[in-house]
Amino acid sequence: MLFCDKISFRVMSGKKTIIIGNWKMFNNIHQSSTLLARLHQNIDSHRDVEVVIAPGFLALQPLSLEIDGRRIKLAAQNAYFKDEGAFTGEVSFSQLRNLVDYVIIGHSERRIYFEESLDLIRDKVAACVRNGITPILCVGETAEERKYKETKTVLHDQVTTALANLTAEEVAEIVIAYEPVWAITTFGGEIAKPSVVKEELQFIRKQVGDLYGGSTAKKIRIIYGGSVDDNTIGGYLDIEGCDGAIPGSASLNYHKFSKIVQLANKKTIKRK
């Protein structure tokens, strides 16, 4: 049995659904500011939905002065695990303190293009927590790994290694995003069926429960990514135990992203 029914979304109904817009390497500072202004105009404050945007590094500081933190929070897309030192071109988690609430760690594009290893991602997660920032840990298998039925092994290795240096209390506060590489537009963009996503979300939560106990597994937010947009978000949020989503390209369109947030709010209210 992959999943215990006691570890479910409904058990922890006080958790906020989280919607994270990953802007990747798009938009200069002016474009980012304009997009944020549009989001302010179109996204209301929702008690049960947390909205996060992850612009490029250059836009983080100016947007931090413009953003309405009651409605939208900031995330960085990456950081280096050393707090300081002679690491030309890098940005540390300590430098991001008091600037962002979240940092995306282990995104498939980082793992593939920049060859980020399991150990490096583990060190980044620990550094993120050490500096008082919440990690958004991305995990997921490639098309080839899924073809050869290696999905569970890949997810097990990615989750257990990344969380290795954290306490149960720390793990309960992080976000894990299941982003199968084969479902991301960058890598082909095959739409994942909610039934497939449900199985892997359950497996990830079970891994957390096996490592840190049922209470931690109930509290942690596990979300879905993989080319989520305003047309597909509803099916994923209907999955029991899915605590949100991390749209990519859809988050660059304020109409689509605002609709995603609105749908998430409706789904969250319905679940109560």
Residue 179 bears catalytic tag: yes
Q: Do the beta carbons of residue 4 and residue 230 sit within 8 Å?
A: no
> Other C-beta atoms within 10 Å of 6: how many?
10
Strand 102-105 and strand 134-139: the pairing is: parallel
Active-site annotation holder among 141, 145, 170, 179: 179
Q: What residue spans define the domains of the chain?
A: 10-271
Q: Residue 241 corresponds to which tokens in the numbers above?
A: 């135990």
Q: Look at residue 14 in the predicted model and tell me its pLDDT.
A: 66
Q: Look at residue 11 in the predicted model and tell me its pLDDT.
A: 40
Mean pLDDT throughout 197-203? 98
CATH ID of 10-271, from 3.20.20.70, 3.30.450.40, 3.60.20.30, 3.40.50.2300: 3.20.20.70
Inform me whether the pLDDT recorded for 6 exceeds 50. no
Give the contacts of 238 (CB within 8 A, at least 6 positions apart): 194, 267
> Helix, strand, coil % (nearest 5) of the chain?
50, 15, 35
Q: Look at residue 267 in the predicted model and tell me its pLDDT.
A: 86
Give the separation between CA 168 and CA 211, rounded to whole angstroms.
8
Residue 107 bears catalytic tag: yes
Q: Residue 51 corresponds to which tokens in the numbers above?
A: 């909205």
Inform me whether the pLDDT recorded for 145 exceeds 90. yes
Q: pLDDT over 70 for what percent of the chain? A: 94
**pTM of model > 0.85:** yes
pLDDT tens across 240-259, in order? Answer: 999 999 999 999 999 999 99
> Other C-beta atoms within 10 Å of 146: how many?
20
Mean pLDDT throughout 128-157? 97
Q: Rounded to 5 degrees, what are φ and ψ at 113?
A: -70, -35
Give the contacts of 89 (CB within 8 A, at least 6 positions apart): none
Active-site annotation holder among 107, 109, 141, 200: 107
Q: Which amino acid is at 26?
A: F
Can you tell me which residue has the tokens 């290696």?
A: 150
